[in-house]
Amino acid sequence: MKELEALGFLIGRWRGTSEDQFGVKGTLVSTMEGTFEPSEKFIQLRGENHNNGKLVNRAVQFITYDAKIRKYVAKRIWSMGFIENGAGTWDGKELVLRITFDCEPPFFRAMRWKSFIRRYTENEIGTGLFAAKTGGKYRLYGEARHVRIT
């Protein structure tokens, strides 16, 4: 599937950091691994985030392309207890997904969210979130810059 091949650069192991973002004080260290699982029709991203050596959360995400709606779709499950659903577009540099939640955390209810994956180079990406209060403008909630480690 050529649309999913466009995101093939995500395959591999990544390590990233962010500082005082995503509602966390201090440095958040992220690891992520991208594979074609359970087949070449899906990209699976598995990741963990640590703060001061302590696990903050784990997540598993699946991304595919839906030719019927002409959008990338994603589902991410967080160890914090919620499920994120997204749909959006890839412009050759950035994948932006509008997010809805199953098992939504109370803090998220008065907010709208978009997640993104930015390709800076073949070996550097950014992953993050934009948030907006209902009726307000989106603002960056956080971005982790990742470098390829394999």
Please count the other Cβ atoms lying within 10 Å of the Cβ belonging to residue 128. Answer: 19
Domain ranges of the chain: 2-148
Q: Can you give the pLDDT at residue 112? A: 87
Confidence category of residue 16, pLDDT binned at 50, 70, 90: very high
pTM, to two decimals = 0.92
For 79-125, the pLDDT digits (tens) are: 988 899 999 999 999 999 999 887 777 777 778 889 999 999 999 99
Q: What is the DSSP string of 28-70?
A: EEEEEEEE--SSTT-EEEEEEEEETTEEEEEEEEEEEEETTTT
Q: Is residue 76 scored above 90 in pLDDT?
A: yes
In words, the CATH class of domain 2-148 is mainly beta
For 57-66, the pLDDT digits (tens) are: 999 999 999 9
Task: Report CA torsion sign: 32, 61, 88, 68.
Answer: positive
